[in-house]
């Protein structure tokens, strides 16, 4: 079945350093979504990417969708303590499909 | 507006007992999902309801797990004869019908979860 792999599993950085998490799918994706889960909280939607090679930015966060639509990345520039949490990617195989396959997440911790 | 709500927020039960977890999705959301998240782990898909279609039960780990959705709204996840390995946070999410390329249209809204502890 479809698998979505996410690396690294954990990342610890100093405040102000950059952070990147990578997501790879075994199959071509229709779209990919990113979620953030704060410690003790529930996942919250960040963004959806649909087009091959798409790049979207939200302030210090940059999201990319690969040309082959099988991989994606989230890059945070100059991390802040508020960025702490676990970042999940989630992919949909079928266009317009609701069911998502989630990656295992990357837990980001930050040393202030 | 009101988000996804789940009850109870915490449930402690003894091994072998049955438990029911409830999810109230956002009004108008036809899609509803159940996930399981063990401590420090990712989201494990359990089951997905979409409107009046037959649910996708492909993620249910055993026949002790079942779920229903009444009237296209509230859903109940039932775990029979609970085992210690069932201990986890059970998350419910809902979303609007998918429209393919429309921005954020497939966004899933998560509830706060039910933390289940099986002693």
How many domains are there within chain A?
1
Structural domains in chain B, sorted by start? 5-97 (2.60.40.10)
- Which residue range is the domain that position A76 belongs to? 4-111
Residues 34-53 of chain A whose Cβ lies under 8 A from any Cβ of chain B: 35, 41-45, 48, 50
Q: H or E stretch including B109?
A: strand B109-110
pLDDT of residue B105: 57
* CATH at A13: 2.60.40.10
Write out the DSSP string of B38-67: -TT--PEEEEEEETTSPPB-TT--STTEEE
Q: Is B38 on the interface with A (CB under 8 A)?
A: no
pLDDT digits (tens, 9 = 90+) for B13-66: 999 999 999 999 999 888 999 999 998 788 999 999 988 888 999 899 999 999
Rg over CA atoms, chain A: 13
Spatial distance between the Cα atoms of A66 and A22, rounded to a whole number of angstroms: 11
- Residue B102 pLDDT more than 70? no
> Mean pLDDT throughout A73-97?
89
pLDDT of residue B50: 87
pLDDT digits (tens, 9 = 90+) for A12-43: 999 999 999 999 998 999 889 999 999 999 99
Rg over CA atoms, chain B: 14
A with B: how many residue pairs have Cβ under 8 Å apart?
Answer: 70
pLDDT of residue A9: 94
β-strands A55-58, B109-110: how paired?
A: unpaired
pLDDT of residue B100: 47
């Amino acid at each position: 079945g479809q698998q979505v792999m996410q690396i690294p599993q954990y990342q610890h950085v100093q405040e102000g350093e950059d952070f990147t998490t990578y997501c790879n799918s075994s199959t071509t994706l229709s779209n990919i979504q990113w979620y953030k889960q704060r410690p003790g909280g529930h996942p919250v939607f960040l963004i959806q990417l649909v087009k091959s090679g798409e790049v979207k930015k939200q302030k210090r966060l940059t999201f990319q969708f690969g040309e082959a639509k099988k991989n994606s990345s989230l890059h945070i520039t100059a991390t802040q303590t508020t960025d702490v949490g676990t970042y999940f990617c989630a992919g949909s195989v079928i266009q317009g499909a609701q069911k998502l396959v989630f990656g295992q997440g990357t837990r980001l911790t930050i040393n202030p | 507006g009101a988000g996804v709500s789940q009850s109870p927020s915490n449930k402690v039960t003894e091994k072998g007992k049955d438990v029911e977890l409830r999810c109230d999705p956002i009004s108008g959301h036809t899609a509803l999902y159940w996930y399981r998240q063990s401590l420090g782990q990712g989201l494990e898909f359990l089951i997905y309801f979409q409107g009046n279609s037959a649910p996708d039960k492909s993620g249910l780990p055993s026949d002790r797990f079942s779920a229903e959705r009444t009237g296209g709204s509230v859903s109940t996840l039932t775990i029979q004869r609970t085992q210690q390995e069932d201990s986890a946070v059970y998350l419910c999410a809902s979303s609007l019908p998918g429209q393919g390329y429309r921005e954020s249209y497939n966004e899933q809204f998560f509830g706060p979860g039910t933390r289940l502890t099986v002693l």
